[in-house]
């Protein structure tokens, strides 16, 4: 994991330097449009930030190679990247620095972690800079802000969709509806509010009974006492909501020890970390086989060629959640700039508000619709599901993006 990160960073560094040199040449042409990317490039979330950066840079190169912004005489896009570092207050400082160093930005995207995005958008909103983000928290677009656009389904929306999606998936795959569920989650805020909703409504609505319901405080030291009772309870599937790779590993190893891993008991995790290449390195393909996760989006079969180019270009094992969002965000700015026809942040923001597309960047989302509501949330944003199959996470839900059918063992 460390090695990949190091290579990733070195590559990223090389790219930054290279783009800096390229910039000096390009700077001769007056028509250049600056977009900011503010993501964690150092600290514990750096890996995700670097994955976003790789996707964003590829999109910039693709747009420029295809002739830039045509309505602006072929103006080239330029990505200005900034580091949030490891805390909300440092993210906010970086945003302030970004705005003062680059006064002619037309928009920006990133932040990845919701608390960073919340802090950063407090600054960008005041500067009236349009900001796109993949962060999930409902708070981000719950403040009545006019310049913040959330492309992922919000956390609440994902939570509401997860269990119905799973039941639906099981029904389609096996022809039977699951009846018994085990709930295991760490006590981080998102999980607490998610399970509250599940216990109060969702279980009843879906005709499910929770045969096991346990919360724990992360990090885990030993998962035995958490996993052993699940085996005795014999659920049809298990929701396993941890929030980091080390806990994922301990839990999965323990499931394997009790003979439940490898697809024998359908396990559903949550969040992008389930699709992280690091998880493969620390556990193994056989243990991960069949592990599912609900998340905001994943490259589907429409993006096969793009994914292949990404892997060749970056040497990353696959094109995933973080890189995909960054790629789409650049494309959305490209569309808005085409419509605005001028490098003006207010006009770009207005163009984003008026987007209503079913092609172009819209094709990157299940449902193929790109439109933002009054709050800045994407209309019809739905949850996607991935599953580890033969050492690789693949999209299995919804139908529009699925590249493989789900592995789901027969239920008694």
Partner 1 sequence: MRQGASTRLRRDGIVLAAVSILYLAISAFVTNSYYQLILTLVPIWAVFGASWNILSGYGGQLSFGHASFFGIGAYTVTLALVYWNLTPWLGIPLGMLMGAIAAVIIGTPTFRLRGHYFALSMLAYPLAILYLLQYLGFQEMSLPMHRDHPIAYLEFTDQRLYTLVATLLLVAGILACMFVENSRFGLALLAIRQNELAAEAAGINARQWKMRALITSGIIAAAAGGLYACVLLVVTPDSVFGLLVSAQPVVVTLFGGVASVWGPVIGAAILVPLAESLNAQLGNIVPGIQGVVYGAAIIVIILAAPDGLYWTIRDRWLRGAMPALPPPLPAAAVPTRTYSEVTSMPLLQVGNLSRSFGGLRAVSQVSFAIQPREILGIIGPNGAGKTTLFNVLNGVLAADEGSALLAGEQMLGRKVYQVCRMGVGRTFQVVRSFPRLPLLDNVVVGAYGAGLPDRAAVAAAEHALHQVGMLQLATRQAGQLTNKQLRLMELARALAGQPRLLLLDETLAGLGRDECDEVLDVLATLRDEGMTIAIIEHTMHAMMRLADRFVVLDHGAVLATGLPRDVVEDRAVIEAYLGKKFLARQNA
The answer to whether 99 contacts partner 1 (rule: CB under 8 A) is: yes
- Tell me the per-residue interface mask from 44 to 63 with partner 1, x by CB under 8 A, - otherwise: --x-----------------
Query: What is the DSSP track for 251-311?
Result: HHHHHHHTT-TTTTS-EEEESGGGG-HHHHHHT-HHHHTT-EEEES----GGGHHHHHHHH
> How many C-beta atoms surround the C-beta of residue 167 within 10 A?
21
CA atoms within 13 A on the CB side of 138: 10
C-beta of 91 vs 303, nearer to partner 1: 91
Distance (Å, rounded) from C-alpha 292 to C-alpha 407?
Answer: 9
Interface residue with partner 1 among 1, 43, 284, 344 (CB under 8 A) is 43
Can you tell me which of 19, 173, 188, 405 binds partner 1, judged by CB under 8 A? 188
Q: Binder to partner 1 among 71, 89, 315, 390 (CB under 8 A)?
A: 89
Binding status of residue 34 toward partner 1 by CB under 8 A: no
CB 252 within 8 A of CB 278: no
User: Binding to partner 1 by residue 187, rule CB under 8 A?
Assistant: yes
From the list 61, 62, 93, 257, which residue makes contact with partner 1 (rule: CB under 8 A)? 93
- Considering CB under 8 A, how many residues would be counted as binding partner 1? 40
Helix, strand, coil content of the chain in percent (nearest 5): 50, 20, 35
Q: Is 13 in the site for partner 1 (CB under 8 A)?
A: yes
Sheet holding 76-83, edge to edge: 76-83, 32-39, 105-110, 131-133, 148-150
Map residues 143-182 to x or -, x wherever contact with partner 1 holds by CB under 8 A. xxx-------------------------------------
CA distance 140 to 344: 24
Residue 358 interacts with partner 1 (CB under 8 A)?
Answer: no
Tell the smallest beta-carbon distance from residue 147 to partner 1 (Å).
12
Map residue 100 onto helix, strand or coil.
helix
Q: Does the protein bind partner 1 through residue 5 (CB under 8 A)?
A: no
3-class SS of residue 85: coil
Does position 83 interact with partner 1 (CB under 8 A)? The reply is: yes
- Given a contact cutoff of 8 angstroms between Cβ atoms, the answer to whether 292 and 163 are in contact is no
Task: Determine which residue in the list 42, 174, 214, 244 makes contact with partner 1, applying CB under 8 A.
Answer: 42
Q: Which residues bind to partner 1, rule: CB under 8 A?
A: 9, 13, 16, 41-43, 46, 82-83, 85, 87-90, 92-94, 96-97, 99-101, 114-115, 118-119, 122-123, 125-126, 137, 139, 143-145, 187-189, 192-193
């Amino acid at each position: 994991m460390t090695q990949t990160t190091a290579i990733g960073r070195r590559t990223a560094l090389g790219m930054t330097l290279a783009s800096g040199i390229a910039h000096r040449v390009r700077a001769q042409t007056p028509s250049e449009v600056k977009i900011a990317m503010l993501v964690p490039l150092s600290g514990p979330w750096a890996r995700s930030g670097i994955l976003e950066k790789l996707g964003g840079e590829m999109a910039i190169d693709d747009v420029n190679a295809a002739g830039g912004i045509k309505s602006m005489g072929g103006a080239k896009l330029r990505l200005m990247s900034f580091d949030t570092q490891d805390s909300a207050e440092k993210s906010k400082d970086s945003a302030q620095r970004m705005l003062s160093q680059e006064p002619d930005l037309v928009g920006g995207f990133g932040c990845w972690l919701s608390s960073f995005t919340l802090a950063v958008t407090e600054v960008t909103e005041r500067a009236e800079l349009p900001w796109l983000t993949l962060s999930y928290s409902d708070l981000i677009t719950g403040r009545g802000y006019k310049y913040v656009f959330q492309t992922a389904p919000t956390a609440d929306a994902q939570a509401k969709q997860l269990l119905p999606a799973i039941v639906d998936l099981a029904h389609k795959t096996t022809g039977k509806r699951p009846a018994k569920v085990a709930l295991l989650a760490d006590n981080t805020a998102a999980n607490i509010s998610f399970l509250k909703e599940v216990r109060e409504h969702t279980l009843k609505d879906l005709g499910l009974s929770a045969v096991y319901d346990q919360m724990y405080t992360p990090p885990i030291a030993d998962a035995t006492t958490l996993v052993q009772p699940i085996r005795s309870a014999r659920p049809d599937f298990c929701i396993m909501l941890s929030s980091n790779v080390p806990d994922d590993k301990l839990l999965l190893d323990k499931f394997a020890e009790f003979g439940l891993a490898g697809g024998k008991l359908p396990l559903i995790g949550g969040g992008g970390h389930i699709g992280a290449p690091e998880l493969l390195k620390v556990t193994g393909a056989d243990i991960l086989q069949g592990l599912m996760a609900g998340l905001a989006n994943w490259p589907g079969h429409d993006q096969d060629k793009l994914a292949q180019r990404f892997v060749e270009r970056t040497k990353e094992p696959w094109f995933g959640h973080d890189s995909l969002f960054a790629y789409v965000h650049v494309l959305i700015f490209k569309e808005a700039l085409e419509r605005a026809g001028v490098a003006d942040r207010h006009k770009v923001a207005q163009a984003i508000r008026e987007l209503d597309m079913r092609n172009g960047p819209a094709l990157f989302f299940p449902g193929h619709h790109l439109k933002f509501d009054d709050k800045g949330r994407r209309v019809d944003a739905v949850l996607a599901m991935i599953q580890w199959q033969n050492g690789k996470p693949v999209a299995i839900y919804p139908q529009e993006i699925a590249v493989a059918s789900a592995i789901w063992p027969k239920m008694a």
